[in-house]
Homo-oligomer: A and B are copies of this chain.
Amino acid sequence: MVDERTFTRGLAAFFAGVRDVPVGIGDDAAVLDFDGARVTVTCDPVVAGVHFEPTADPVAIGRKAILRNVSDLAAMGAEPAYALVSVLLPRDAAHVRDGVFEGLRSAAVECGVQVVGGDIGTTPGPLTITCTLIGRSTERVLRRDGGEVGDRIHVTGPLGGALLGRHLEPRPRVAEGLWLVERSEVRAAIDVSDGLTLDLATLLIASGLPGAELDEIAIPVHDDAVRAASSDGSTALEHALADGEDYELLFLVRGDSLPADGPLAPCARRPIGRTIDREGIWLRAVDGSARRLEVGGYQHGI
């Protein structure tokens, strides 16, 4: 049996053929056309014991269930509008219900999202919440597959250490996505959910590019990455490169067309490297030397 990532990549072919869509399987969200209106949809679950500790605050769990999906819309440059929420409560944990719903509501309100339906049921398993987010977009969206060799790589904020707690409170970069989607020099984007190196690899594969070079000194390291490093054998940089659930936007820009030193608002960003015509993801140190990064479990084609 193939691994999950390879399998997911094969799903686009597996499910091909019934109807054409502007963007289908393989991006942060799908984009549908309804008589000229573009509808952007995405659906990811959160599961106790996988995406949060079973003892986590129910309000925070409900919030995360909405926010991680809003982040997928942000990565497309779409405006969040509606949500469906499916909540499966363990039979012995009905008491978390009100907190979960309060979290779903507060995150939805903050993001301008109307919850329009869904389902509440029970499960013999762990608390599981699956939200579908539905957004509006223009004809142009931020896809993963538009990158070219020589593009600059940018990220909207510091990375690493989210598992210390920040992962429960994603701050989806909606305004940034809406700003980026209007700039034709922005060629491709993804949100950083699996970790910088892995999500960059996904972006490169989608764009058909062989590799990228990151400037070690330019990688924005989150304070949480420093804290995480102080309690394990990894460095803060390693956390910034490999940890997931940052929910910053990682995007590719044509050459130097988006000035690195321009005004940051409304889209704070750091230029961290460039796409190259050489296989692999490389980290360049200040002394000029480069070493190839391991792309965990995902080396195929990079």
Contacts and interface: CB of A to CB of B under 8 A. Distances in A.
A98 B123 CA distance: 23
B123 A43 contact: no
Interface stretch (A45-53, A224-232, A235-243, A287-295): A45-53
Given A30-B117, A32-B134, A117-B30, A81 B19 contact: yes
A43 B121 contact: no
A45 B39 CA distance: 22
- Number of this chain's copies in the assembly equals 2
A108 B41 contact: no
A207 interface: no
Contact of A88 (B7, B30, B47): B47
A235 to B, nearest CB: 29
A101 to B, nearest CB: 7
Given A19-B82, A21-B82, A45 B119 contact: yes
Contact of A43 (B25, B32, B113, B130): B130
Q: How big is the A interface, by class?
A: 35 or more
Given A1-B94, A15-B105, A18-B112, A43 B117 contact: yes
A32 B4 CA distance: 34
A43 to B, nearest CB: 4
Contacts of A114: 15, 17-19, 21, 24
A8 interface: yes
Interface of A: 1, 4, 7-8, 11, 14-15, 17-19, 21, 24-25, 27, 29-30, 32, 34-39, 41-45, 47-50, 81-82, 84-86, 88, 94-95, 97-98, 101, 105, 108-109, 112-126, 128, 130, 132, 134, 136
For the complex of A and B, the 5 pairs showing the least CB-CB separation, nearest first, are: A125-B125, A34-B37, A30-B116, A19-B114, A15-B115
21 contacts: A1-B98, A4-B121, A11-B115, A21-B114, A30-B84, A30-B116, A30-B117, A32-B116, A36-B37, A41-B82, A41-B117, A41-B134, A43-B84, A45-B88, A45-B121, A47-B88, A47-B123, A47-B125, A49-B123, A86-B130, A125-B125
Given A17-B109, A18-B112, A47-B124, 18 more contacts: A7-B120, A18-B114, A21-B82, A24-B116, A30-B82, A30-B116, A42-B117, A43-B84, A43-B118, A43-B132, A45-B130, A47-B123, A49-B124, A50-B121, A50-B123, A86-B130, A88-B128, A123-B126
